[in-house]
Amino acid sequence: MSFIAKPVARHPKMPVNALGLTTRDYEGTMSTLCAGCGHDSVTAAIIQALWEMNIEPHRLAKLSGIGCSSKTPTYFAKTAHGFNSVHGRMPSIAAGANAANREVMYVGISGDGDSLSIGLGQFCHAIRRNVNMLYVLENNGVYGLTKGQFSASADIGSVSKGGTPNLQGPIDSVSLALTLGATFVARSFSGDKAQLVPILKAGLLHNGFAFIDVISPCVTFNDHKGSTKSYAHTREHMHEVVETDFVPLRAEIKADYAKGSTTAVTMHDGSVVRLRKVDEKFDPTDRRGVMDYIAECQSRGEIATGLLYLSEAGKDLHGFENTSDRPLVKIPYSELCPGSAALEELQKEWV
């Protein structure tokens, strides 16, 4: 059986958040992924972000498709509702759920096979629809559960465990998301929790589709020499473009940044995301500039990371649909049914 409950014992002196919960309260069942899997580090970063943000777990909905990455929602927030759906189709479940209940916070976890091959269409349309959710793509360049076939994110020339080089060009999720008009686009690395946690926090509060591609190496099938998605390769070639500081609502802003190097973006709820540019030329609010910058990095074999693009100005699904501020699931039936008199009136036109 792949279901392993975690013991609930905890250290009495573990710090608690504003809800009185420890990080243990944001954990899930025991991971059944391979030891050293990048996905487990992403899970740990999500737990940290949720805990730090004082999110009530039961107001969270975790969704996924199929694959190694899609197993991970069971490994965090055990008192949140989860939906492990079908391969590549999680975005549509999230869109329907979000349309029905806009009060719940949505976290989708996907992988490169799930989002860039079988689910490429749904991924693209969730961006177009700007479904208000955090969408984490755990990107390792291979199909893990079926034992090591290349995925659509594998770079040309990246070598499989058996020694075969990949010949077809990759689909770069970050460039694609930018092209499609995504309002929050980030890339990070499972091995860099310090970078990932603030991006996750900003993504949770973003009003719209917050997309984070996390390079998350597969230790079993894609962590060898010649792979461009290995721990070693990613560490060596990642180039942090912006550093993200997440300043929650009501928190005092203490840090003092050099003028001109920081962009502050106020989130929907009033929290602030400060983006400190490592490279002066980079502007995380200029979509075309970001796309050019990423392309330049790629041509040098570098992987640009950080919260690369952010705009809080776009309409989300509910903005497009002009939906009631009250979640549709909370509207009483008496307000939904027009009743017999209206039916009688309507049918006067049918004679």
Partner 1 sequence: MVQPSGCGVNDFALKIATVNGTGSASANSLLLQALFRMGIPVTGKNVFPSNIQGLPTWYEIRVNKDGYRARSPDFQLVVAVNPESYARDIESVTAGGWVVYDNTRELVDEFRRDDVTFIGVPLAKMCIEHVEGSRIRILMKNITYVGALVALLDIDMDVVKGMLEEKFAAKKHLIKSNFEAIARGHDYVKERFACPLPIRVEAMGANKGKVIVTGNSATALGCVYAGATVGAWYPITPATSVMDGFQEYCESFRVDPVTGKNNYAILQAEDELAAAGMVIGANWMGARAFTPTAGPGISLMSEFIGLAYYSEVPGVFIDVQRTGPSTGMPTRTQQGDLMLAAYASHGDTKHILLFPSDPRECFEFAVRAFDLAERFQTPVFLLSDLDIGMNDWVVDKLEWDDTFRPDRGKVLSAEDLAAAKNFYRYLDVDGDHITARSLPGTHPKGAYFTRGSGHDKYGRYTEDSDAYTEVMLRLRQKIDSAAEHVPAPDIRRAEVPTTLGLVSLGGCHWAVLEARDELAERGVHFDYMRVRGFPFGKAVEDFLAAHETVFVIEQNRDEQLKKLITIETSCPKEKLESVTYFGGQPLSKGHVLRGLAPHLEGKLMEVGS
Note the residues at the interface with partner 1 (CB under 8 A): 1-3, 56-59, 61, 73-74, 78-86, 89-101, 103-104, 121-122, 124-125, 129, 317-318, 321-325, 328-329, 331, 333, 335-340, 342-343, 346-347, 350-351
Query: Residue 329 CB, nearest distance to partner 1 (Å)?
Result: 4
Q: What is the DSSP string of 179-213?
A: HTT-SEEEEEETT-HHHHHHHHHHHHH-SSEEEEE
For residues 7, 10, 15 and 17, what is the CA-based torsion angle, rounded to 10 degrees? Answer: 40
Secondary structure letter of residue 283 according to DSSP = -
Nearer to partner 1, 1 or 258 (CB): 1
Query: Residue 345 CB, nearest distance to partner 1 (Å)?
Result: 10
Which run of H or E residues covers position 186?
strand 184-189
Query: Residue 72 CB, nearest distance to partner 1 (Å)?
Result: 12
Nearer to partner 1, 83 or 257 (CB): 83
Q: Residue 312 has which token pair?
A: 């809080």
Residue 14 · residue 24 · CB < 8 Å:
yes
Nearer to partner 1, 122 or 166 (CB): 122
Residue 147 neighbours by CB under 8 Å, 6+ apart? 221
Which run of H or E residues covers position 43?
helix 38-52
Nearer to partner 1, 8 or 333 (CB): 333
Q: Report the relative pairing of strands 238-240 and 303-310 from DSSP bridges.
A: parallel
Query: Whole-angstrom Cα distance, residue 188 to residue 216?
Result: 9
Nearer to partner 1, 134 or 242 (CB): 134
Query: Residue 154 CB, nearest distance to partner 1 (Å)?
Result: 25
Nearer to partner 1, 54 or 266 (CB): 54
Tell me which amino acid residue 305 is: T
Query: Residue 126 CB, nearest distance to partner 1 (Å)?
Result: 9
- Give the Cα-Cα-Cα angle 318, 100, 247 (nearest 5 degrees): 60
Query: Residue 172 CB, nearest distance to partner 1 (Å)?
Result: 21
